[in-house]
């Protein structure tokens, strides 16, 4: 039996993202949204989540290329005077791994992001991360301690078949190969620990190699070739014009991704192939 979870990342980043999330839930196949607690449009995202209670909310953990929840005084080693994390993912990842003095600050910020959502009355079902930072060994060590405390039962284990991706999209072959090595290694390390914790995850995740380019044509191709079991497909939909997403992700095809989520052709293909669309809790949408 083939089952899919459809997730939008960056919920709360901007009005354009928030509008796309609500449209994707109401008119399309979206089942989950991962929220950014430090982002500028977080409060608007909360309102959308409350008026759409069937939309499952997870944490889009943000520790780079975004804003913190705590102040610089509380986490001076992580953010600048304006409360912004560093933009460079490689440099940030190295610092988080080798600078042991950052561990307590990271834990405080991660717990603050979780608590900001939970304290707003929104239960968190799953955790993923901006640029997949949640798989970083130091970050995952903290999450492994916090997830059971907060009743978080699911996790995005970012592992994707490169061979299948390259059948339909030959762009960025070297970059995709590097990503497969890095995230495949991290997933192999993380999976057994998730099993020990009793935290669930999809057998495969689609969106790693084509982040920002999850178009209707690409989705139709991968739907035809899904493995049995549970697959998560994640998107970055948006409605333009939107200055924030255009500034941060100028090359992403936000509106094309929203069109894929709401596509009648995609819906028909899923029905034809008898693929179940659900959320992390197992609640079926179609």
Per-residue pLDDT tens over the stretch 253-268: 999 999 999 999 999 9
Residue 88 main-chain phi, psi, to 5 deg = -80, 115
In the block, residue with structure tokens 């982040």: 211
The pTM (predicted TM-score) of the whole model is: 0.96
Q: Would you tell me how many other CB atoms lie within 10 Å of the CB of residue 125?
A: 19
Tell me if 109 sits within 8 A of 69, measured CB to CB.
yes
| pLDDT higher than 90, residue 286 | no
Tell me if 210 sits within 8 A of 218, measured CB to CB.
yes
* Average confidence (pLDDT) over 222-250: 96
C-alpha pair distances (Å), 234 with each of 31, 60, 207, 210, 273: 10, 12, 5, 10, 20
In the block, residue with structure tokens 């993202």: 17
| pLDDT higher than 90, residue 187 | yes
- The string of DSSP letters for the chain reads -EEEEEEEEEETS-HHHHHHHHHHHHHSS--EEEE-TTSTTHHHHHHHHHH-TTSEEEEEE-SSSSB-SS-TTTSTTTB-TTSBBPS-HHHHHHHHHH-GGGHHHHHHHHHHHHHHHHTTT----EEEEGGGGGGSHHHHHHHHHHHHHTT--EE------HHHHHHH--TTHHHHHHHHHHHHHHHHHHHHHHHHHT-B--SEEESSTTTT---HHHHHHHHHTPPSEEEEEEE----SS-HHHHHH-TT--HHHHHHHHT-HHHHHHHHHTTPEEE-TT--B--
Distance CA 178, CA 184 (A): 10
Tokens of 7: 């997730």
Per-residue pLDDT tens over the stretch 88-127: 999 999 999 999 999 999 999 999 999 999 999 999 999 9
Domains present along the chain, CATH in parentheses: 2-278 (3.20.20.370)
> Band of the pLDDT at 32, cuts 50, 70, 90?
very high
Per-residue pLDDT tens over the stretch 126-181: 999 999 999 999 999 999 999 999 999 999 999 999 999 999 898 999 999 999 99
């Amino acid at each position: 039996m083939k089952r899919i979870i459809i997730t939008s990342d960056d919920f709360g980043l901007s009005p354009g993202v928030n509008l796309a999330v609500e449209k994707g839930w109401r008119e399309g196949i979206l089942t989950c949204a991962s929220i950014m607690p430090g982002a500028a449009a977080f409060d608007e995202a909360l309102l959308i989540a409350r008026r759409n209670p069937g939309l499952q909310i997870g944490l889009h953990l943000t520790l780079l290329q975004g804003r913190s929840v705590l102040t610089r005084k509380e986490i001076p080693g992580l953010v600048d005077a304006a409360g912004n994390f560093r933009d460079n993912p490689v440099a940030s990842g190295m610092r988080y791994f080798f600078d042991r003095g950052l561990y307590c600050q990271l834990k405080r910020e991660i717990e603050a992001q979780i608590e900001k959502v939970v304290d707003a009355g929104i239960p968190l079902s799953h955790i993923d991360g901006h640029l997949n930072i949640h798989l970083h060994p130091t970050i995952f060590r903290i999450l492994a301690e916090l997830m059971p405390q907060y009743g978080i039962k699911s996790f995005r284990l970012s592992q994707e078949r490169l061979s299948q991706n390259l059948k339909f999209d030959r762009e960025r072959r070297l970059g995709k190969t590097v990503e497969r090595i890095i995230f495949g290694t991290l997933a192999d390390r993380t999976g057994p620990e998730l099993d020990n914790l009793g935290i669930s995850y999809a057998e495969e995740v689609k969106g790693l190699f084509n982040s920002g380019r999850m178009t209707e044509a690409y989705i139709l191709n991968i739907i035809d070739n899904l493995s049995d079991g549970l697959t998560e497909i994640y998107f970055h939909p948006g409605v333009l014009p939107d200055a924030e997403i255009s500034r941060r992700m100028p090359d992403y095809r936000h509106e094309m991704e929203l069109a894929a989520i709401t596509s009648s052709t995609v819906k028909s293909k899923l029905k034809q192939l008898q693929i179940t669309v659900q959320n992390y809790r197992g609640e079926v949408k179609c």
